[in-house]
Structure 1
Amino acid sequence: MNNIGDAVLYKNNQLIAFNKPAGIPVQKDPTEDKCLLDFAEIYCKSKLHLVNRIDRPTTGIVLFAKSSNAMTLMTKQFQEKKIVKYYLAVVANLPAEKEGKLVHYIQKKTKGNSSIASEDASKGGELAEMEYRHIGSIDRYHLLEIKLITGKHHQIRAQLAAIGCPIKGDTKYGFGRSNKDRSIHLHSKKISFTHPVSNEPVNLTAPVPNEVVWNAFNIEK
Structure 2
Amino acid sequence: MNVVASGARYRVIDDFLPPDQLAEIRAVMERRRFEEVASVIYPETDGHAFRSRGAVLRQDTGAPTAESRDRDEQPAAYRTILGELGSHADMFGVPGQDWSAVGFSFWQYPAGSRLGWHNDVASGRLGEFVFFLHEEWKASWAGELLILDADPETLGVDTTGMSAMEAVEAKASLASHALTAVVPKPNRLVLVQEGTIHCINRVDRTAGTTLRQTMTGFVAGAAPAPEQRSVERLSSLLGAV
With the length of structure 1 as denominator, give the TM-score of the two structures: 0.28
Higher relative contact order (CA 8 A, sep 6+): 2
With the length of structure 2 as denominator, give the TM-score of the two structures: 0.27
Larger strand fraction of residues: 1
Larger helix fraction of residues: 2
